[in-house]
Amino acid sequence: MERIKCLIIGSGPAGYTAAIYAARADLKPVVYTGMEPGGQLTTTTEVDNFPGYPKGVDGPSMMVELQQQAERFGTEVRIGHVTEVNLSKEVGGIHTVVVDSTTTIEAETIIISTGASAKYLGLPSEQRLRGGGVSACAVCDGFFYKGQEVAIVGAGDTAAEEATYLANICTKVTMLVRRDVMRASKAMQHRVNNTENIEVLYNTEVDEVLGEQVVEGLRMVNNTTQEKTEIPITGLFIAIGHQPNTDIFKGQLDMDDAGYLITEGKSTKTNLPGVFASGDVQDKEYRQAVTAAGTGCMAALDAERYLGSLGAH
């Protein structure tokens, strides 16, 4: 059976940064890309907030460059989806991983960078207009709606934070809250309520996103009166939470209530020796490409130190 010194699961900024560092440390990393090679950034158009790109870069190109950088130092990138893991609890133990339900391999260390997926409402009009004005990331895409009117769905801390972020850029932000209260912390609610150009509509849900190629408006429904109203907008932001991609680790790794992997202190160590987590799979708060890349670096350093402590490297 093939044995890998450093197996990296996931190919977003966290996975590829881990690969760059692991390859340079001679850990001969193998990256399994997962079902969305390149991760969430491949669904974004322009990335303007990653340091080092003064003119911006489009998400897919950036991920190709990150892959090339990892390969330059000897990373092996394989198209494949890890479908099952059997993680050892022993220090120095060997972990077993099944790829595409068929191939079993062994790994001395594993870096999990499987990311998280934004939740969407699931309406056909919303899905059709993703990339045409429907976005799940205000910090990534808000700038494209500078001086325009937008709406945001959600009532948690993310929605509240993104609403105030958008209010600085856009002329008006309509916030749709499905209940008669917001889930967000009181401090965040206070900020929303004190921002003049945010209008909060309670008991309100999306009925349909209007527009053929791009978003032109929103039809909303009040879920107590069933009354429908329309507003003109050019951008719709969905901020109803993320789902970390951790199903295959359930019962083996410690997770919080929402399924995010728990890491120890400032490190990327999970509760099992030799298994590390980096990127959005262990971060529900920052979720930026640059923070994911930072923790990818940390995971590779943690893996190297772990192998070093065993005398295996």
Which residues are catalytic, by number? 137, 140-141
Q: Does 209 bind ligand NDP (CB under 6 A)?
A: no
> What's at 222, amino acid-wise?
N
Q: Does 60 bind ligand NDP (CB under 6 A)?
A: no
Q: Least distance (Å) from ligand NDP to the CB of residue 91?
A: 32
Quick check: helix, strand or coil at residue 277? Answer: strand
CA 193 to CA 121: how far, in whole Å? 25
CB nearer to ligand NDP: pick between 169 and 240:
240
Q: 117 forms bridges with which residues in the sheet?
A: 243
Among 221, 240, 301, 310, binds ligand NDP (CB under 6 A): 240
Beta strands in the chain (DSSP E): 3-9, 30-32, 46-47, 57-58, 76-78, 82-86, 95-99, 103-112, 116-118, 134-135, 149-153, 172-176, 198-201, 204-210, 217-222, 228-232, 235-238, 242-244, 275-277
- Phi–psi pair at 229, nearest 5 degrees: -135, 155
CB nearer to ligand NDP: pick between 183 and 305:
183
> Would you give the distance in Å from CA 141 to the centre of its chain?
14
Which tokens is 129 given?
């207009």
Q: Does 158 bind ligand NDP (CB under 6 A)?
A: yes
CA 201 to CA 179: how far, in whole Å? 9
Q: Least distance (Å) from ligand NDP to the CB of residue 72?
A: 35
Find, among 277, 282, 275, the residue nearest to 91 by Cα. 275
| Cβ atoms within 10 Å, residue 257 | 5
Using the rule CB under 6 A, give the single segment among 57-65, 104-112, 177-185, 192-200 that binds ligand NDP: 177-185
CB nearer to ligand NDP: pick between 82 and 136:
136
CB nearer to ligand NDP: pick between 128 and 178:
178
Among 156, 199, 216, 305, binds ligand NDP (CB under 6 A): 156
Among 241, 259, 288, 313, binds ligand NDP (CB under 6 A): 241
Using the rule CB under 6 A, give the single segment among 10-18, 41-49, 106-114, 157-165 that binds ligand NDP: 157-165
CA 80 to CA 35: how far, in whole Å? 7
Q: Least distance (Å) from ligand NDP to the CB of residue 118?
A: 9
Using the rule CB under 6 A, give the single segment among 8-16, 82-90, 139-147, 155-163 that binds ligand NDP: 155-163
Among 24, 183, 305, 313, binds ligand NDP (CB under 6 A): 183
x-or-dash pattern for ligand NDP, window 124-153, by CB under 6 A? -----------------------------x
Among 130, 172, 178, 305, binds ligand NDP (CB under 6 A): 178
| Cβ atoms within 10 Å, residue 175 | 28
Find, among 233, 61, 37, the residue nearest to 132 by Cα. 233
Find, among 280, 279, 270, 257, the residue nearest to 302 by Cα. 270
x-or-dash pattern for ligand NDP, window 273-302, by CB under 6 A? -----------xx-----------------
Give the residues lining the site for ligand NDP (CB under 6 A): 121, 153-159, 161, 178-179, 183, 205, 240-241, 284-285
